[in-house]
């Protein structure tokens, strides 16, 4: 399938995204002096903006491609939660399976940007256990309902508390019963059992962690073949796609490197959220009937679009197909 045909097929794909939902808040400005109170820059604020982050950004990426996205996560009954709800509703994302919990705060990441340079990040969030979906009342029934019409499931773990081993186990059982394709964006440090997932999408460092290998020393080659073999031995995914930054992307099947793609990025302003774009595009394309290499090629192009933008972003079908 060519990219245009894949994107056309994606319009009929229904994807459920489960994971850590958050609001990304940006404070944009300029710096031209140092504070007299402390050796820190003084930011002259020019504007502020908001975007969906975490699992919410994955869902937005599915919608931007033309797919039908639904989202399940935890929101607080607060202004940030309401802002995020409006944003997702405007993008026609089904949020009826999100849990609104008055006792927790909606996760907010505030990034302070001077021109194109991030000065600092400020996180607002409750204790990790407060976001655990499997502790919410009626969650088993909610999961069953959320999965009912899905063609594919994306588990987006940002290690904020929503994704637990119990939740993964429940989702994998439901997905297996319905023949739903399962993709996971993992956080290796959490040591969760991901066996049963069809697709894993770690980045370069996360793949090393999943394989239990140290970072290569100076002058040492990234051990891609060994990483693929070890991850397959531990988790047995149908497909493993490793994003390698400037070195592009690697596709592995059955523990063997099946294909490598050079990066499609021409300019890189911000890699924030690129992993969300990759897993959304890969999953949507595979669910739409593309081969793994075709899906990876499309995801590689989509990531190239996103990293050329500042802030958490998405790639539309038109942007992906546009000559570059």
109-112 long-range contacts, Cβ below 8 Å, gap at least 24? 109/22, 109/23, 109/24, 109/25, 109/53, 110/25, 110/26, 110/27, 111/24, 111/25, 111/26, 111/27, 111/272, 111/311, 112/27, 112/29, 112/43
Residue 171 CB coordination number (10 Å): 26
| Residue from 20, 24, 157, 276 carrying the catalytic annotation | 276
Tokens (6 digits) for 142: 């909610």
Residue 272: C-alpha distances to residues 25, 57, 311 (Å):
13, 11, 7
Tokens (6 digits) for 25: 């808040």
Residue 284: C-alpha distances to residues 29, 39, 61 (Å):
36, 48, 10
Farthest CA pair distance, the chain = 64
Coil, strand or helix: which one is 214?
coil
Any idea what DSSP says for residue 216? P
Closest CA to 119 of 44, 175, 41: 41
**DSSP E strand boundaries for the chain:** 14-19, 21-34, 41-54, 68-72, 74-76, 99-101, 107-114, 117-124, 152-156, 181-185, 199-200, 239-243, 249-253, 256-261
Q: Is 185 a catalytic residue?
A: no
Structure-token match 């489960």, residue found: 18
Helices 204-211/224-235 angle, 10° precision: 60
Q: Tell me which residues are annotated as active site.
A: 276
């Amino acid at each position: 399938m060519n990219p245009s045909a894949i994107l056309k097929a994606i319009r009929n794909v229904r994807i459920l995204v489960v994971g850590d939902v958050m609001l990304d808040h940006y404070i944009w400005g300029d710096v031209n002096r140092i504070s007299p109170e402390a050796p820190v820059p003084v930011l002259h604020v020019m504007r502020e903006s908001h975007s969906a982050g975490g699992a919410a950004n994955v869902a937005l990426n599915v919608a931007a491609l033309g797919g039908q996205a639904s989202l399940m996560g935890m929101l607080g009954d607060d202004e940030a939660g309401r802002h995020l709800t409006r944003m997702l509703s405007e993008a026609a994302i089904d949020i009826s399976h999100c849990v609104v919990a008055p006792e927790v705060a909606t996760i907010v990441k505030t990034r302070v940007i001077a021109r194109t340079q991030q000065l600092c990040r400020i996180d607002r969030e409750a204790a990790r256990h407060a976001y655990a979906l499997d502790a919410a009342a009626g969650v088993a029934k909610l999961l069953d309902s959320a999965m009912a019409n899905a063609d594919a499931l994306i588990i987006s773990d940002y290690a904020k508390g929503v994704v637990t081993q119990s939740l993964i186990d429940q989702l994998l059982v439901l997905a297996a019963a319905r023949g739903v394709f399962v993709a996971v964006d993992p956080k290796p440090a959490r040591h969760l059992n991901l066996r049963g997932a069809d697709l894993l999408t770690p980045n370069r460092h996360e793949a090393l962690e999943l394989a239990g290998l140290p970072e290569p020393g100076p002058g040492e080659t990234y051990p891609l073949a060994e990483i693929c073999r070890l991850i397959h031995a531990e988790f047995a995914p149908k497909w493993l796609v490793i994003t390698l930054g400037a070195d592009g992307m690697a596709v592995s099947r059955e523990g063997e490197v099946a294909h490598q793609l050079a990066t499609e990025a021409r300019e890189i302003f911000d890699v924030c959220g690129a992993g969300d774009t990759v897993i959304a595009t890969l999953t949507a394309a595979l669910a739409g009937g593309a081969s793994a290499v075709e899906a990876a090629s499309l995801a590689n192009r989509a990531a190239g679009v996103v990293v050329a933008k500042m802030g958490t972003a998405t790639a539309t079908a038109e942007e992906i197909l546009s000559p570059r």
